[in-house]
Amino acid sequence: EHAFTDYKDMLSSGFVDAITIACPNDLHAQVTIDAAAAGKHVLVDKPMAMSLAECDRMIEACKKAGVILMYGENLCFAPKYVRAKELADQGALGTVYYVRQLECHFGPHADWFWDINRSGGGVLMDMGCHSIAYCRWVFGNTPIESVYAEAGNFVHGNRTHGDDHTVVMLRFAESKRHPRGGLAVAENSWARQGGLDDRAEIYGSKGLTVADIARGGALHTYSASGYNYAGEKAEQTRGWTWTSFDEVWNYGFPQEMAHFADCIENEKRPMLTGEDGRAVLEIICAAYQSARTGARVSLPLDPDSRKPVDYWLKGEPQPKARAEVPQSTPAAPPADATKKTKPRATPASKPATKPAAPPPSEPATPAKEATAEPPEATAPAQQAKAADEKPNATAEDAKPAGKPLDDAAEDAAT
C-alpha cells in the first residue's frame, strides 16, 4: 500500500490505474480533470460537481483522454434496491407510474458539508443526489418534463445557509414502457431525529414493492444500557433500536467498486456515466429554482457556473446596468421563463426596504434582488483551492477491485 498527501503525487506515481474521488464537492472537478490528463480512470462520488459548467468540463476531459468517467451512486447497487428494480423491469408490478425514495437523518458526517461554498447546497445536494438518481434509474432514464420542489431550513438555523428538508416531484415524459408518463418524489432531510431512514417504493398498475435498507434486514434490539454501534446516523443505542449488520454490503459499495473495476478491465460502459451525474445535478438546480419561484421548472437548463443552491438563494443572474442608463431609472427585471407570478420569499429574496428579521430557524442572508450578480468564478478559484488543500483521492487499482467504502470513508476521502 502507498499513502500520499498530494493527489498529484499519487497520479504521477505509476502505482494506480484508476481513482475514486470522495473529497469535498468543490474539488471534484479539478481532481477529475487532473486524473484524466494523467490517463487515470475516474469514479467520482455524488454529487458530481459544483455546477453544470464543471460537469461539462469533466466529461470533456475524460472523453479527450479516453478514460472512463463513472458517476458514483451506491443506491443503484444496493441489493434490495436492485431487486426492486428487477421486479419493475420483469413486469411483476405492471406498468410503473410512481416511484418514491427518501433518505433522511440529522445531518452529514463531515463539517464541510454545512458550508454551501464547499458543498454547493444543503440536504438536496447531499442526499437528494441519491433519491433522484434512483428514481431516474427505475424509470429507465426517461426524459423529465418538469421539476417542482419545496425546500426550507427548519431546524438547523444559522448552522447552514442551505436547506435541511426538501421534497422534489419529478414528472417523467411518456415513453414506450410508460405510455402515460410517471411521477417520482424525492424526499430528503437533515432534520430527522432517530437515525437513518432509507426507503424506496415503486407503484405499478398491478402491484407495488417497498425496499427498506435501514430496517428491512436489521435486528430489532432493546438495550437498557446501550451498546457500541446500531447503524449509520443513529444518535443513541439505548432503548429500542434497529441494529444493522453487513451495512457496507447492504448499501451497495462493494458492488459499485466491483462494477467500476469490471468496466476498466473489460472496456465496458459504466451503468452510471458522467452524463448521468450531470443529469442529476441539473435536476437539483431546477429543484432549487422551483423552491424559490413556487413554479414547475422545465428541462433542460442553460449550463452556467452557479452553485446549485444559488438557484434558490439568489435566483436568475441579472445583467449589469449600462452606464448611459440614468440611476433613477430602474432596470427592467429579468424574464422568468418558468412563472410570471411573484417569487416566494427565500433567505435571499426578502424586500429591499425594511427587511424583516429572519425567523430563528432561517439563515440570515442579505437581499440581493436589485443588484447584478456576476456568475460564480468557479474554475480558477477551485483550481487554486484544489492545489492548496491537497485533497486525498482514494487510489483504486483496477486489478483487483478496490476496497469497499462506507459513507464515513467517502466523506473522509482516504
What average pLDDT does the chain have?
A: 83
Instruction: Determine the pLDDT at residue 31.
Output: 99
Tell me the per-residue pLDDT of 93-138, one tens digit each, with 9 for 90 and over.
999 999 999 999 999 989 999 999 999 999 999 999 999 999 999 9
Quick one: angle between helices 378-389 and 52-65, nearest 10? 70
Residues whose CB is less than 8 angstroms from the CB of residue 387 and which lie 6 or more positions away in sequence, other chains included:
30
Alpha-carbon gap, residue 89 to 272, rounded angstroms = 18
89 is a domain residue: no
pLDDT band of 11, cuts 50, 70, 90: very high
pLDDT band of 148, cuts 50, 70, 90: very high
194 is a domain residue: no
Nine-digit cell at 230?
446500531
pLDDT band of 317, cuts 50, 70, 90: low
Comparing 23-27, 37-41, 161-165, 302-306, the range with the smallest average pLDDT is 302-306
31 is a domain residue: yes
Return phi, psi of residue 174, to 5°. -70, 145
Amino acid at 165: H
Percent share of the chain, pLDDT over 90: 65
162 is a domain residue: no
Comparing 47-51, 112-116, 159-163, 345-349, the range with the smallest average pLDDT is 345-349
Residue 241 has pLDDT above 60, yes or no: yes
Alpha-carbon gap, residue 110 to 408, rounded angstroms = 8
Residues 234, 260 within the same domain: no
DSSP secondary structure of 283-340: HHHHHHHHHHHSS-EESPPPP-S--TTHHHHT-SPPPPPPTTS-TTSPPPPPP-SS--
Tell me the per-residue pLDDT of 266-294, one tens digit each, with 9 for 90 and over.
999 999 999 999 999 999 999 999 999 99
Nearest C-alpha neighbor of 73 from the set 253, 198, 292, 297: 253
45 is a domain residue: yes
Residues 242, 260 within the same domain: no
Alpha-carbon gap, residue 20 to 18, rounded angstroms = 7
- Structural domains counted in the chain: 2
25 is a domain residue: yes
Residues 260, 408 within the same domain: yes
Three-state SS string over 184-198 comes to EEEEEECCCCCCCEE
54 is a domain residue: yes
- Coil, strand or helix at 157: helix
Radius of gyration over alpha carbons of the chain, in Å? Answer: 22
Domain that holds residue 42: 7-72+256-264+384-412
Instruction: Determine the pLDDT at residue 182.
Output: 98
Residue 77 has pLDDT above 80, yes or no: yes
Q: Is the dihedral of CA 403, 408, 410, 412 positive or negative?
A: negative
47 is a domain residue: yes
Alpha helices in 90-244 (DSSP H): 116-119, 123-126, 128-138
pLDDT band of 240, cuts 50, 70, 90: confident
Residues 260, 227 within the same domain: no
In CATH, what number is assigned to the domain containing residue 399?
3.40.50.720
Question: Which is higher by pLDDT, 2 or 285?
Answer: 285
Please list the residues that pair with 45 across neighbouring strands: 72
- Return the number of other C-beta atoms located less than 10 Å from residue 346's C-beta: 22
